[in-house]
Structures are given as C-alpha cells and as structure tokens.
Amino acid sequence: MVPCTLEHFSQLYTDGYVDWEEVFYFQGLEDFLCPPLNYDFKLGGIYTSENFYFMKYEVNLCQNQTDIIDENIDYSSACAPQEEIDEFISGVNQNFQIYYPSTIVNPDNNKQPKQRFLYDQMYFELQAGKMYKSSNIYFREVIIETDENIMIQESKVNETLALNQPQDFREQVQVGSDLIPGEFYIRRSPYTIVHKRSYQKLDDLASYIGGFSECFIFFATVIIGYYNETTLSISLANKLYNFKYSKDKNKDEGQLKRSLLKDSGGYLKGNEKENEKNDEINTKKETGTEKRNAYLKAKSIKQIIQERQKVMDNITVESITKELDDSDFQEENMQNLKFQDQINDKEIEMNLKTNGNQIEYNNNQKLNGEIVKDKKIEIEMAMHSQIQNKNKNQQKIQNDNKIKNQGQKEDQLKQQKSGKQKDKTKFQNGGQKSLNKFNNKSLYEGLGFKSKSQFLENQFQLLVEKNRSHVNLTVKYFLNKIFCDKFFQNEEVEMIKEARKRVRQDLDIQLVLECIKEIQKIKDTQYDNDQQVLFNFFSKPTLKVEKYYNEEKFRQKKLEEQEKFEQFVQRSAKNFKNFNDNGKNIQNADFNGNLKNRFKKTGFNQWSKQQYYGIERYYNLYRTYQKLLENGKNQELNQKIIQQLGKEIQEIFETSKLINNLDENEEKQFKVQKYLDLNMIKQDLQDKEVQRRDLL
C-alpha cells in the first residue's frame, strides 16, 4: 500500500457528475493508504474453485523492522513508542475503514442510467489483544445491456461494473489475547445482476394498440379524416372567397400597365402618320392595340375617358377651321420656297456650263495661236461665232423648260389648294354634327371596345375570370404539418391555413341558421323582386397574407407604375387633338346578343357553359341595376343595396354611363355622315365639269 494521491482518483471515470479533486481534499484522503497506481487485481471463484482470486487486508501491531517484507511498499515509517501504542489501544476502540468508488444504477433513466460516488460507510471496530475479527467483502458483477434500436432487429451495447451492496459482507469474531486484530478479504460475489434497457419498439407499440391491422386502421383513420376535413374546407373556401397572391398583384397592376404604356408609344406614332396611310392598314394596327386593351379595368377606362372629355369640351368648329387655314398657309410658303430654290439651282448650273465652254474656247484659242500663227483671222471669227450661237440656243431651250416646269408647279399647287378647300368645305358643311361624331368615336378609341355591350362583356368576363381564383391543396402543406410548421413555410401554405381558419369561423351552424331566417324575413318584408335580385348578389371577400402581400419594395413599384399610368393618360388626352374621320359604323346590339352568337360559334371547348352563364348572370344584374335607377321610388334604399354590390361592380356600371351616347347616336351619326359624303361627291362632280369646260 502507498499513501493516497490525487492521481489515484483522477484516473477514475466520472461521467461528468463527480469532481474527484473536490472529494479528495474534502474527505482528507491524503492520510489514507491506496493500492499502487495502475495496479490491477482479479476477483473470482470460491474456496473450492481451481482458480480463486481475492485480495486480503491484514491488520497487525506495529513493529520496527530492518528488512522489507513487502516489495510494493515504497515508503518507511517508524513505529511510535510502546507506551503510546498501549495507551491508544486501551483508551478507545480502533476502526478499520474502507473507502471505494461505487455506482448507482438507474436503468429507467434514459439520460443518466448510472452515477458515480465515493462510498464511505464501510468500517469495522477492532480490539487489539482482546478480539480477532475477520470479514469477507463481496463485489458483484453488474451488466447494463442497452438495445438502441426502435425497429424489430436488435442493436445491443453492454457495459460491466463491479458494485458492492451494503449487505454484501460476512463478519466473524474470535476472542483471544494472542491473536492479530483483524483480516479482511475482498472477494467476488457469486451473483450477477443484468439490467436490460431498450427503447419502445414499433412492434411492441402495435401490439399494445391491438396488432398491426388495428394499428394500420387507426393511423389510416386519423390521416384520412384529417385529409378529408382539409379538402372539404378548401373546397368550401374556394366557393366563398377570392384569393389574392402577391404574384397576382404584380401581374394585374404591374404587367398590365407596362403593356398599356408600351402600346401607347405605337398609338401616338400611328396618329401622326394617319393622314398618309389608307384605312385598311390603320384598321389592322388599331385592332392589335384594342385586343391588348380589351381587358383594362373599369376604373382605368373611366379615368381615360374623363381626361379625353376635358380636351373635347374645349374644341369647336371655328378652332379647327383656323388650324386648317394656318396649316395651309405654312405648307404653301414651304412649297414656294422649295420651288424658288429649284429655280436658283438651275440658273447656277446653266452659268457654270456657259463659263466652262468659254474657258475651253479661250484655251483652244491660245493653243492654236501658238502652233498655227499663220491662220487667217476669218477662220477664228467663224469658230467664235459658231460657239456663241450654240450657247444661245441652249439657253433658250432651258428658259422654255423653266417656264414649262413653273406652269406645272403652279397647276399642282392649285389642285392641292382646291383639294384642301374641299376638305375644309366638307368639314364646315358637317358642322357641329360632324364634330360630335368625331368626339364620340375618338373618345373611346383604343380602349378595346366599340360599344357599350362590348365594354360590359369585357368587364364581366374579367369578373368571371377573377372568381375562378382558388387555392390548391398541395403536398407542401402536409409536410409543413408533419414537421410542426418548421419547414415548407411559404405564401401558398399560409393561404391554405388562412382559408381553413376562416371557414371554421364561418361554420357555426347555430349562427348560420339564425342568420338565414332573419335575412329571409327582411327580404320578404322590405324588398320587391328587382331589389331582391341585387340583394342576392354579393362579392366574395379577398384573402391575402399580409407579410407576402404588403412588402415595401412592392409598394414602391406600385407607385412607379401609377405615375407611368398617369403620364400615359395625359399623353393620350393630348393626342386626341389630332382629329380624324376614319371610323367605321358599329351597329347597335343588345347586351347579350353578341355573347350568345359567340357561344354558338365557338362551342363548348373554348367558351364553356360556366363562363357563359357567369357573364349572363352579370348582364341580368346590370339590367336590374338600370331598372332601379330609373325607378323613382325608394331611391335611398336602392342606393344602399347598390353599395353592397362591391366597389368593382359599381366602377363598371358607372363607367358604362359615360359611353351611353356611343350606342344611342351611332346609327344617327352614320346617316349624317352618309349624307355629307353624298354632298361631297356631288361637289366633286361639279368641279370636274367646270374644269372640263375651261379646257374646251
């Protein structure tokens, strides 16, 4: 045995729960004896076994010896005087105490199945010279067997410990004066304790529930029940609500306005060159723009019409005539200046040719004078006279051509001036009626419709398409629920949650039944048949996820698009100062006549029954709306009912009022235009007859 040091205890495993350094100094273990460091010993067998392993501690009286009996002892200590030894033995009882590290095993604890500690409750009383005491101290083997797999197959991990229980010792006492004080044997207990630990396996869980079949039925019932409940909630939400996603907002308010701005550039350029093109080309180009603008919202159309109307109100027949006169005067001046420049260019070219011939003649004359000095003066004069005559003939021909060209130019100017005068006369003869026709046609040009019925059809089709917006049940939603809302978190999943939450709130059956009875009583007592038609219609509320829908960047983008749209409206209004009469007659039709013809031609594949009856439903709503406005009774109540239709429906109906004159005056304007055209034809025939007589 050697004195105990901290190293004897620091090499023991702690599992993170024992601070052996603190225990060592607190218990004063430096005054105890320990086995040597790294000392291994075996325990096993019994007295009758072939191999019997044990450890023996023997207590004797101290004796001074010079020879070392135990080679493992590396220290020396002198004995106290005999008087002190006798006094110590006779005064008090002596104790033999053993400290050893022990373990508490708790197999049911899944986090901390074992815990180490220092056991200090084993001691024996000795009486030297009076009594002999011996004891067998047993340590039993403890095995902790852990199955770490939750499936059917096993995955075992074993851990072996040596533990001593407080009752595991056998003590013997013998009285005598010549015996040693005590002997103590550390032995292996014949008992082995095995702790089996395992997680709850799936097959055991299934057996507790009632077997695999019952377990499958149970989980299938839970899953299918939740799926059916979710599916029905989403189906009901699609029928009750409209859904607005952030991408739909970007598409409706961003891409539509950008497309409109893109069309405006070509539209403005087309009006500037309209007088230089024929009606067929203009019709083809305007058709493409109208198709793209056919699905403008009623609010945008209303704003454009109001801006154009402000411009039209400031235009009169006198102002147009003055502008035509100013343009004719400017064009005539430009043509005169151009003609004068052509005359000056011809004179300069003629002078250059004359000077060239003169220079050529002088050079030839000088050369001939140097070579042939003896020629006669008569020959030189004859040559000079011939050249001058040739130049005079050329100048005369050029003057005749110039006079002829000038006469042709004057005739062309007269014909152009006469044509413009005819146009001016045609416009003046039409008077304010022709101006009104142009105003009514230009007011709605490029907006995607040519009549009120076409406008209503486009707007109602937009409403039908909007009502088709829905939310789809996807796998991401169920995965999000499986992972406890930790993953697959996006706007689509949030929209499904919002829809289910709203449906659960609205499905209070008691409240629903009471409200139905109350509403039916109010309808029967307060409203007539026409009012009930409007009352039975209601717009779907729109659901949206705020954190995806109202982002700061998206709001800034919306403001930019709004500014661009206002600029487009201003440019469009300004552009309508350039008047034209290239419109075509549009026959008046009923609200749903074109719709029925379209349905018959295209069939059920392109124009489904659902779309047809959806638009027909809006037409019926519009006709009832007109009846209530024309009816002078209960106007206050009628206005309240109309307000319940929703802002979007009201915008469409109010915008339709602005285009009433287009349908009402279309046929009348066509007849007026036809009359003016006949007068112009007669005037042209009379002018041609006068010109023919002048020529004769």
Q: What is the pLDDT at residue 623?
A: 82
52 vs 420, more confident: 52
Q: What is the pLDDT at residue 138?
A: 92
Alpha carbon separation from 673 to 300, 437, 557, 667 (Å, rounded) = 31, 9, 47, 10
Helix (H) or strand (E) holding 146: strand 131-147
Q: What is the pLDDT at residue 275?
A: 42
Question: Distance between CA atoms of 404 and 398, rounded to whole angstroms?
Answer: 10
Question: Distance between CA atoms of 644 and 632, rounded to whole angstroms?
Answer: 19
Alpha carbon separation from 445 to 108, 514, 651, 656 (Å, rounded) = 85, 52, 20, 15
Q: What is the pLDDT at residue 194?
A: 92
Model confidence pTM above 0.85? no
172, β-bridge pairs: 134
Residue 511 scores a pLDDT above 70: yes
Mean per-residue pLDDT for 172-188?
A: 84
* The residue count for the chain: 696
Helix/strand/coil for 106:
coil
DSSP letter, residue 600: H
- Rounded to a whole number of angstroms, the distance between the first and last alpha carbons of the chain is 157
- Phi and psi of 690, rounded to 5°? -65, -45
Q: What is the pLDDT at residue 515?
A: 83
For 67-83, the pLDDT digits (tens) are 555 565 666 566 778 88
For 556-592, the pLDDT digits (tens) are 676 777 776 666 656 655 554 443 343 333 333 344 4
Mean per-residue pLDDT for 97-105?
A: 86
Question: Distance between CA atoms of 515 and 502, rounded to whole angstroms?
Answer: 18
Mean per-residue pLDDT for 392-418?
A: 57
β 114-126/131-147 pair status: unpaired
Q: What is the pLDDT at residue 510?
A: 81
Residue 269 scores a pLDDT above 70: no
Residue 676 scores a pLDDT above 60: no
DSSP letter, residue 144: E
- Phi and psi of 119, rounded to 5°? -90, 125
Confidence grade of residue 120 (pLDDT, cut at 50, 70, 90): confident
Q: What is the pLDDT at residue 361?
A: 43
104: nearest Cα among 189, 166, 39: 166
* Contact criterion met (CB below 8 Å) for 298 and 650: no
Confidence grade of residue 359 (pLDDT, cut at 50, 70, 90): very low
Q: What is the pLDDT at residue 92?
A: 67
Question: Distance between CA atoms of 437 and 581, rounded to whole angstroms?
Answer: 9
Question: Distance between CA atoms of 681 and 673, rounded to whole angstroms?
Answer: 12
Question: Distance between CA atoms of 594 and 498, rounded to whole angstroms?
Answer: 40
* Contact criterion met (CB below 8 Å) for 108 and 79: no
For 24-68, the pLDDT digits (tens) are 888 888 888 888 888 888 899 888 888 999 999 888 877 766 555
How many percent of the chain have pLDDT more than 90? 3
Query: Which region holds residue 59: left if phi is over 0, alpha if psi is between -120 and 50, else beta?
Result: beta
370 vs 481, more confident: 481
104 vs 539, more confident: 104
Q: What is the DSSP string of 615-661?
A: HHHHHHHHHHHHHHHH--TTHHHHHHHHHTT-HHHHHHHHHHHHTHH
Confidence grade of residue 683 (pLDDT, cut at 50, 70, 90): low
Confidence grade of residue 604 (pLDDT, cut at 50, 70, 90): very low
Q: What is the pLDDT at residue 635?
A: 77
Question: Half-sphere exposure of 386 toward its Cβ, with a 13 Å CA cutoff?
Answer: 7
